[in-house]
Amino acid sequence: MAGFDFAVYISVFVEMMGSLLWVLVALAVAGTAGFLFVVSREGTIHSRRLLRAELLGVLGGFAALALMAYVTISGFTDAGGPVDWLLIGIIWGVGLAGTTIVAYAIMGLVDIMLGRVPGRPARAG
């Protein structure tokens, strides 16, 4: 392979994941847009919400590994060398980061819709 052809990589991912690829891409775009909306609307990142999102992100990292094992029809015992373990770590990290961003966006949008401000007591009435 002499050069980088983006279409080849997309074809391989579509072959491996089918329509799930486009669901994940749409989730990533919507999650990022939601995160940017929440941060721009509130003007800051709230630490309590971020901590909860990071805890969910850990679970998302493991879910990404489970998805990888399902899609590639292989297990972690098939990892042969350091590059395989590096790729496993990268997949876990991407799952962690993606889930954290999406979870923060969802929690922030729910707070905005309910009129709650993190760090302040809820309004009575």
Query: Per the domain annotation, does 121 fall within a domain?
Result: no
- Tell whether 122 is covered by a domain: no
Residue 37: band (very low, low, confident or very high) from pLDDT cuts 50, 70, 90 = very high
* Within-domain flag for 83: yes
57 located within any domain: yes
For the question of whether the overall pTM of this predicted structure is more than 0.75, the answer is yes
- Surface-to-core class of residue 61, CB atoms within 10 Å of its CB (0-12 exposed, 13-18 middle, 19+ buried): buried
15: containing domain: 6-114
Q: How many domains does the chain have?
A: 1
CA gap 120, 29 in Å, rounded:
30
Backbone angles phi, psi at 3, to 5 degrees: -140, 175
Residue 41 in any domain: the answer is yes
Residue 51, in any domain of the structure: yes
- In a domain, residue 120? The reply is no
Residue 119 lies in a domain: no
Q: Where residue 1 falls among pLDDT bands split at 50, 70, 90?
A: low
Give the helix/strand (H/E) hosting 105: helix 82-114
